[in-house]
Amino acid sequence: LPKKDANVTMAHMWVAFISLLIGGLMGLLQTFVRTGKLTLPFGIDYYQILTVHGVILALVLTTFFIIGFQFALMSKTVGMSDGQRKWAWAAFWTMTIGTIATAITILLGKASVLYTFYAPLAAHPVFYFGLTFVVVGSWIACFVNFHQLYKWKKANPGQKSPLLAFMVVINMVIWFISTLGVASTVLIQFIPWSLGLVDEINILVSRTLFWYFGHPLVYFWLLPAYMAWYGIIPKIIGGKIFSDGLARLAFILFLLFSIPVGFHHQLLEPGIDPFWKYIQVVLTFAVAIPSLLTAFSMFAVFESAGRSKGYRSLFGWFKALPWKDVRFFAPMIGMIAFIPAGAGGLINASNQLNQVVHNTIWVTGHFHLTLATTVILTFFGISYWLIPVLTGRKLDAKINRFGMIQTIVWAFGMFIMSGSMHIAGLLGAPRRSSFSDYGGSEQATEWIGYQYAQAIGGSILFVGILLMMYTFFYMVYAAPKGVEEFPLAEEEQHAPPTPLILENWKLWIGIAVILIAFAYTIPMVDIIQNSPPGAPPFQWPIGRG
Contact 420, 450 (CB under 8 A): yes
In whole angstroms, the minimum distance from the beta carbon of 422 to ligand HAS comes to 13
Closer by beta carbon to ligand HAS, 376 or else 502: 376
Q: Is 432 one of the annotated active-site residues of the chain?
A: yes
Determine, following the binding rule CB under 6 A, whether residue 298 of this chain makes contact with ligand HAS. Answer: yes
Residue selected from 102, 370, 383, 418 as contacting ligand HAS according to rule CB under 6 A: 370
Contact 250, 300 (CB under 8 A): no
In whole angstroms, the minimum distance from the beta carbon of 536 to ligand HAS comes to 27
- Binding part of the chain for ligand HAS, among 362-370, 396-404, 420-428, 537-545 by CB under 6 A, reads 362-370
Contact 213, 255 (CB under 8 A): no
d(CA 338, CA 375): 9
Determine, following the binding rule CB under 6 A, whether residue 264 of this chain makes contact with ligand HAS. Answer: yes
User: Choosing from 85, 264, 368, 393, which is the catalytic residue?
Assistant: 368
Residue selected from 354, 373, 406, 539 as contacting ligand HAS according to rule CB under 6 A: 354
What's the chain's Rg over C-alpha atoms?
Answer: 23
Residue selected from 367, 380, 384, 450 as contacting ligand HAS according to rule CB under 6 A: 367
In whole angstroms, the minimum distance from the beta carbon of 213 to ligand HAS comes to 12
By beta carbon distance, the residue nearest ligand HAS is 342
d(CA 244, CA 228): 14
Considering only CA atoms, which of 466, 235, 267, 461 is closest in space to residue 353? Answer: 267
d(CA 515, CA 529): 22
- Binding part of the chain for ligand HAS, among 64-72, 90-98, 337-345, 406-414 by CB under 6 A, reads 337-345
d(CA 290, CA 205): 30
Q: Is 367 one of the annotated active-site residues of the chain?
A: yes
3-state secondary structure of 286: helix
**Which residues within the stretch 265-294 sit at the binding site for ligand HAS (CB under 6 A)?**
265, 284, 287-288, 291-292, 294
Q: Would you put residue 38 in left (φ > 0), alpha (ψ -120 to 50) or beta? A: beta
Q: Which residues pair with 393 in a beta bridge?
A: 481
Closer by beta carbon to ligand HAS, 161 or else 280: 280
Burial of 382 (0-12, 13-18, 19+ CB in 10 A): buried
- Binding part of the chain for ligand HAS, among 86-94, 159-167, 338-346, 526-534 by CB under 6 A, reads 338-346
Closer by beta carbon to ligand HAS, 140 or else 267: 267
DSSP code for 502: G
Q: Which residues pair with 491 in a beta bridge?
A: 241
Q: Is 431 one of the annotated active-site residues of the chain?
A: yes
User: Choosing from 85, 366, 393, 422, which is the catalytic residue?
Assistant: 366
Q: Which residues pair with 360 in a beta bridge?
A: 430
**How many residues belong to the site for ligand HAS (CB under 6 A)?**
32
User: Choosing from 215, 264, 265, 393, which is the catalytic residue?
Assistant: 215
Contact 134, 99 (CB under 8 A): yes
Closer by beta carbon to ligand HAS, 292 or else 517: 292
**Secondary structure (DSSP) of 376-418:** HHHHHHHHHHHHHHHHTB---HHHHHHHHHHHHHHHHHHHHHH
Binding mask 191-220 for ligand HAS (x = CB under 6 A): ---------------------------x--
User: Choosing from 213, 302, 367, 450, which is the catalytic residue?
Assistant: 367
Considering only CA atoms, which of 269, 279, 130 is closest in space to residue 203? Answer: 269
Determine, following the binding rule CB under 6 A, whether residue 342 of this chain makes contact with ligand HAS. Answer: yes
In whole angstroms, the minimum distance from the beta carbon of 219 to ligand HAS comes to 7
Binding site for ligand HAS (CB under 6 A): 116, 218, 221-222, 264-265, 284, 287-288, 291-292, 294-295, 298-299, 335-336, 338-339, 342, 345-346, 348-349, 354, 358, 363, 366-367, 370-371, 375
Residues catalogued as catalytic: 215, 219, 366-368, 431-432
